[in-house]
Amino acid sequence: MATTKPGDNLKLESGWLCLDFSNTMDWHASEHPVESLTSYEALIAWTRAVNLLPERTAQQLLRVANQHPTEAARVLDRAVALREAIYHIFSAAAAGKSPSADDQAAFNVEFSRSLAKSRLAWTKTTFEWGRQGEDGDLDQMLWWIMRSATDLLISEDIQRVGECADDRGCGWLFYDTSRNRTRQWCSMRGCGNRAKAKRHQEKVKSEE
């Protein structure tokens, strides 16, 4: 039974795999969200971008997907459904609201699947959760995303999850590491900058 471990150094914007995964949809909180997971290949491209799976595994999954397009499409559907559940559950948490029963149900479908593929792995000094499966499992990235989501959901760190305050509905989630948890924007480069520019414009206008 082979277990593929994720890349050693995840390249995450938010610091949490599950939150970065949620941010694969742009303008998530708007009427016109923009999907970036438009194919199984796009899902693999994301796993590469965040360094989730070793390169040889990514290559292998693309080959398997090519041979089994129906299964790959099914995994993509599951990935998108999981991402939506993750977004809505964390978005509700960030707003101090309860998650909907539908989102919890959708999340738990994948949670059950991931538990069935879990095992305890001994790492010389401690036990940790490990994935049990084959190297060519098309859905293996979902296991790691689920692991990240459940870790964060049951931890006190969930109080540090925020949703971008951009008024056009950015909807990106972030992990607030500021001491007083005052962060508002997904990034100062993106929405923070836009908000600053807008305030500046309004100030200039009011002074005219």
Q: Which of 87, 172, 174, 175 binds Zn ion (CB under 5 A)?
A: 172
97: its two tokens: 């609201």
Q: Which of 166, 173, 175, 176 binds Zn ion (CB under 5 A)?
A: 166
Cβ nearer to Zn ion, comparing 136 with 190: 190
Using the rule CB under 5 A, give the single segment among 55-63, 86-94, 151-159, 185-193 that binds Zn ion: 185-193
Dihedral angle computed from the Cα positions of residues 97, 12, 52 and 93, in that order, rounded to the nearest 10 degrees: 0
75 contacts Zn ion (rule: CB under 5 A):
no
Cβ nearer to Zn ion, comparing 54 with 190: 190
Q: Which of 25, 43, 76, 164 binds Zn ion (CB under 5 A)?
A: 164
Position of tokens 């997971």?
37
104: its two tokens: 């919890």
Rounded to an integer, what distance in angstroms lies between the CA atom of residue 6 and that of residue 43? 15
Measured in whole angstroms, how far is the alpha carbon of residue 53 from the centre of its chain?
15
Using the rule CB under 5 A, give the single segment among 87-95, 106-114, 187-195, 199-207 that binds Zn ion: 187-195
84 contacts Zn ion (rule: CB under 5 A):
no
Please state the closest distance from residue 163 (CB atom) to Zn ion, in A.
9
170 contacts Zn ion (rule: CB under 5 A):
yes
144 contacts Zn ion (rule: CB under 5 A):
no
Dihedral angle computed from the Cα positions of residues 37, 43, 45 and 51, in that order, rounded to the nearest 10 degrees: 120
191 contacts Zn ion (rule: CB under 5 A):
yes
Residue 19 buriedness (CB in 10 A; 0-12 / 13-18 / 19+): buried
Report which residue type is found at 35: E
54: its two tokens: 């070793």
186 contacts Zn ion (rule: CB under 5 A):
yes
Cβ nearer to Zn ion, comparing 142 with 186: 186
CB-CB neighbours of 6 under 10 Å = 21
Instruction: Please give the sequence-ordered ranges of beta strands (E in DSSP) within the chain, or none if there are none.
Output: 25-26, 34-35, 118-122, 127-131, 161-163, 173-175
Please state the closest distance from residue 6 (CB atom) to Zn ion, in A.
26
Cβ nearer to Zn ion, comparing 52 with 186: 186
Interface with Zn ion (CB under 5 A): 164, 166, 170, 172, 186, 191
